[in-house]
């Protein structure tokens, strides 16, 4: 016998490539612009404090409640602090929420085409699950979610499709499922969608998850948030603190707080990305791409003649990285992150050559 027999078997994860050198990186939905200048300002300030004599914050454990960040979010969003939970990116928040709320023998439900970690966390926490097919236009079939289940998770806008469902559609699902927790994953909601955050007043079974990795340009800091009524957030905290109390580090808490307070910069950044996205849609259409209308910071497009895999490889040869999955139903699609206008112009030029 060997110790290897007791090693946990996992399916290795394939992340979007993180190439170095001079490339155009449109494959991981990062923000093409820097975070708010308030972030570097605060970082300089923290550096000063650390350089001083003992006034620094790094030698001590971080505040496990991430109060500075939660307070800032509370003020900016107009939501009480005890309705806010912060974690190490929305991946951490979601995994924690799966663990906290999905403890039924009845399967949790989510779309067949969606964020690739939902089934991973279900398996990690031994949660039964069932996927519900999107329709031909990559839209959810709302009635499918009015069924017996152990919990619901829905991204809105969905990924990698970019398709957004109106809050009224989502509300019906939340309302039907009042005896289970419904998680709405709003990672991309800032790019033109409408949040269901106002619904937390009415539904104690609703958890809304957001992230600083996209619209706030802070993927490198790992900050995710969850919003819900006090009781729901309380349970989430209990689970988090029971297993690992100190996960968000001091820079994440402090720089995240600085970023969220700069509403003006945030709105400008989002506006720029939306403008570039709408221009991208026009250009892609002209090149004979089709796609469901996207309200995210990416477009999920298929070409009318040229297979996605070929386009993907030819772009890669030109140092332009987009995302392609060799998976049922979506293997002819490319997910293209919205970059700067200059980056997109280079993309359009390359695509013109590739598809003609």
Shortest spacing between CB 124 and a second copy, in angstroms: 5
Query: Taking contact as CB under 8 A, which single stretch among the options 88-96, 129-137, 302-310, 314-322 is the one that binds a second copy?
Result: 88-96
Q: Which of residues 23-52 bind a second copy (CB under 8 A)?
A: 25, 28, 30-35, 37, 39-41, 43-44, 46-48, 50-52
Q: What DSSP assignment string belongs to 7-69?
A: SPP-PPP-PPP---SS-EE-SS---SSPPPHHHHHHHHHHHHHHHSSS--STTSPP-TT-HHH
Chosen residue from 66, 68, 73, 88 binding a second copy by CB under 8 A: 88
Tell me how far CA of residue 87 lies from CA of 132, 247, 266, 327, in angstroms.
28, 7, 20, 30
Size of the site for a second copy (CB under 8 A): 92
Tokens of 292: 């469901």
For residue 254, give both structure tokens: 């402090």
Report the residue number, 16 or 142, with the smaller CB distance to a second copy: 16
Stretch that binds a second copy, among 120-128, 163-171, 291-299, 324-332 (CB under 8 A): 120-128
80: number of Cβ within 10 Å: 12
User: Does 221 help bind a second copy (rule: CB under 8 A)?
Assistant: yes
For 65-79, letters b (16+ CB in 10 Å) and e give bbebbbebbbeebeb
| Minimum distance of a second copy from residue 245's CB (angstroms) | 5
Compare residues 23 and 288 and give the one whose CB is closer to a second copy. 23
Q: Which is nearer to a second copy, 219 or 288 (CB)?
A: 219
SS3 category, 154? strand
Q: Which stretch binds a second copy (CB under 8 A): 78-86, 89-97, 160-168, 271-279?
A: 89-97
The yes or no reply on residue 192 touching a second copy (CB under 8 A) is no
């Amino acid at each position: 016998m060997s110790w290897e027999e007791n090693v946990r078997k996992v399916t290795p994860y394939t992340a979007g490539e993180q190439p170095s050198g001079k490339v155009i990186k449109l494959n991981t939905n990062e923000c093409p612009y820097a975070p708010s200048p308030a972030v570097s300002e605060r970082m300089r300030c923290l550096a000063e404090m650390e350089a001083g004599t003992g006034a620094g914050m790094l030698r001590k454990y971080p505040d496990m409640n991430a109060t500075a960040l939660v307070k800032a979010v509370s003020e900016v969003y107009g939501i009480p602090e005890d309705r806010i939970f912060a974690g190490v990116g929305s991946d951490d928040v979601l995994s924690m929420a799966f663990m906290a709320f999905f403890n039924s023998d009845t399967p949790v439900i989510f779309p067949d085409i969606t964020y690739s970690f939902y089934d991973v966390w279900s398996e990690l926490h031994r949660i039964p699950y069932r996927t519900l097919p999107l329709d031909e236009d990559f839209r959810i079939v709302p009635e499918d979610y009015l069924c017996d289940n152990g919990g619901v998770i829905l991204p809105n806008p969905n990924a990698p499709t970019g398709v957004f469902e109106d809050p009224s559609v989502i509300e019906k699902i939340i309302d039907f499922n009042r005896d289970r927790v419904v998680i709405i994953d709003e990672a991309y909601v800032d790019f033109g969608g409408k949040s269901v955050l106002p619904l937390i007043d009415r539904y104690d079974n609703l958890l809304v998850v957001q992230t600083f990795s996209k619209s706030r340009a802070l993927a490198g800091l790992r900050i995710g948030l969850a919003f819900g009524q006090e009781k729901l957030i309380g349970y989430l905290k209990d689970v988090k603190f029971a297993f690992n109390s100190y996960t968000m580090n001091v820079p994440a808490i402090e720089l995240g707080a600085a970023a969220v307070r700069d509403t003006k910069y945030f709105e400008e950044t989002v506006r720029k990305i939306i403008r570039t996205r709408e221009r991208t849609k026009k250009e892609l259409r002209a090149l004979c791409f089709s796609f469901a209308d996207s309200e995210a910071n990416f477009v999920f497009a298929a070409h009318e003649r040229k297979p996605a895999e070929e386009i993907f490889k030819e772009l890669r040869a030109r140092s332009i990285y987009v995302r392609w999955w060799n998976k049922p139903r979506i293997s002819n699609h490319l997910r293209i992150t919205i970059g700067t206008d200059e980056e997109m112009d280079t993309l359009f030029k390359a695509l013109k050559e590739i598809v003609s």
